[in-house]
């Protein structure tokens, strides 16, 4: 993953955490939660220590309350605003949040060289009294030992979305390009499988690009969107191949009716502390302009979109583990 992609996805995840917690600014703790949602080596290291997004969110709230109580500012039950539930629409909301002074110091001022998630966590835990150090200590993490391990591998780059061969059967159906991305989520595979195979939750994590959900259920979702006189209807169909979850998107109307447009294959592997999610995205281009632009912009566009979708899945899993949707 390039430095630009790391910074962009990290701050995007931190901004989402701030929005969901109803913070007026992006706080230092939001930056830490963003690293957990980002799903890189830091998330996997902390997950193996039992620190996932759901636990860290709860501990951050408890730490805020403890700080207020220490300043003789009690927080009456029910006064704290209720946390928003994760979904793609909230994450993509056009909300401009500034960085709080401590968070701004981490991103721009400290000489942490936050070019990777490991370097970012080193910057966040630069002293024993930083918000992230106190939060991790509250969660039972040996922060000095964690920093020692991070420094040993701080300059290693994290793999981003990479091109992979298109399987022959899908190439015969028109798929032209394929990208693969690995992402760690601190949740059991069965929790993620429940999210990913539920048609009614598809729009929570996948950008359907639609105005209307026409049909949902029985392993498929039919959607349509309108642009002037033009109406495009799409069918998203679910199949499960062993431990893999596969969503196929087919065009139902217009010139390209009956053509397969996108395939998402999601493999779930249980690992220490959670699940390694492997998303493979297969696409095709329609029309001359699409074929010209796809090689130029496709990988960057789809790579960020894949990362964002998996960050949302991590957030949904954290909500479910915390019982927020009951």
Give the DSSP letter string of 113-156: --SSHHHHHHHHTSSTTSHHHHHHHHTT--HHHHHHHHHHTTTP
Beta strand 260-271 with 244-251: parallel, antiparallel or unpaired?
antiparallel
At residue 301, the pLDDT reads 61
Same domain, 64 and 177: no
Statement to judge: residues 192 and 289 lie in one domain: yes
One domain, residues 317 and 192: yes
Whole-prediction pTM value?
0.88
Residues 168 and 308 in one domain: yes
pLDDT at 209: 62
pLDDT tens by residue, 273-306:
999 999 999 998 876 555 555 555 555 566 788 8
- What was the pLDDT predicted at 289? 55
Considering the domain architecture, whether residues 248 and 308 belong to the same structural domain is answered as yes
Total tally of structural domains belonging to the chain = 2
User: Cβ of 114: how many Cβ atoms within 10 Å?
Assistant: 22
Task: Decide if 157 is inside a domain.
Answer: no
User: Do 298 and 252 lie in a common domain?
Assistant: yes
Low-confidence ranges of the chain (pLDDT < 50): 111-112
Q: What is the pLDDT of residue 250?
A: 93
Q: What is the pLDDT of residue 77?
A: 66
Please list the residues that pair with 241 across neighbouring strands: 244
């Amino acid at each position: 993953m390039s430095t630009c992609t790391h910074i962009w996805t990290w701050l995007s995840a931190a901004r989402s955490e701030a929005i969901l917690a109803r913070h007026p600014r992006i706080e230092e703790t939001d930056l830490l939660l963003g690293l957990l949602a980002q799903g890189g080596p830091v998330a996997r290291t902390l997950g193996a220590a039992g620190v996932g997004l759901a636990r860290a969110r709860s501990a951050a709230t408890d730490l805020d309350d403890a700080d207020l109580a220490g300043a003789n500012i009690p927080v009456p039950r029910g006064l704290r605003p209720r946390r928003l539930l994760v979904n793609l629409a909230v994450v993509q909301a056009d909300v401009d949040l500034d960085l709080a002074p401590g968070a701004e110091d981490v991103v721009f001022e400290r000489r942490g060289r936050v070019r990777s998630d490991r370097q970012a966590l080193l910057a966040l835990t630069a002293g024993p009294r930083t918000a992230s150090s106190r939060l991790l200590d509250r969660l039972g993490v040996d922060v000095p030992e964690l920093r020692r391990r991070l420094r040993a591998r701080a300059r290693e780059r994290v793999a981003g979305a990479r091109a992979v061969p298109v399987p022959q059967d899908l190439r015969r159906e028109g798929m032209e390009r394929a990208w693969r991305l690995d992402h760690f989520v601190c949740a059991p595979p069965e929790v993620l499988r429940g999210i990913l195979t539920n048609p009614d939750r598809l729009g929570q994590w996948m950008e359907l690009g639609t105005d209307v959900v026409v049909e949902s259920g029985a392993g498929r979702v039919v959607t349509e969107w309108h642009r002037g006189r033009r109406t495009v209807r799409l069918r998203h169909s679910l199949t499960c191949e062993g431990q893999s979850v596969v969503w196929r998107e087919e065009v139902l109307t217009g010139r390209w009716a009956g053509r397969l447009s996108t395939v998402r294959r999601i493999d779930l592997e249980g690992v220490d502390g959670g699940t390694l999610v492997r998303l493979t995205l297969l696409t095709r281009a329609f029309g001359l302009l699409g074929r010209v632009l796809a090689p130029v912009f496709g990988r960057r566009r789809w790579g960020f979109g894949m990362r964002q979708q998996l960050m949302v899945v991590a957030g949904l899993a954290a909500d479910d583990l915390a019982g927020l949707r009951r």
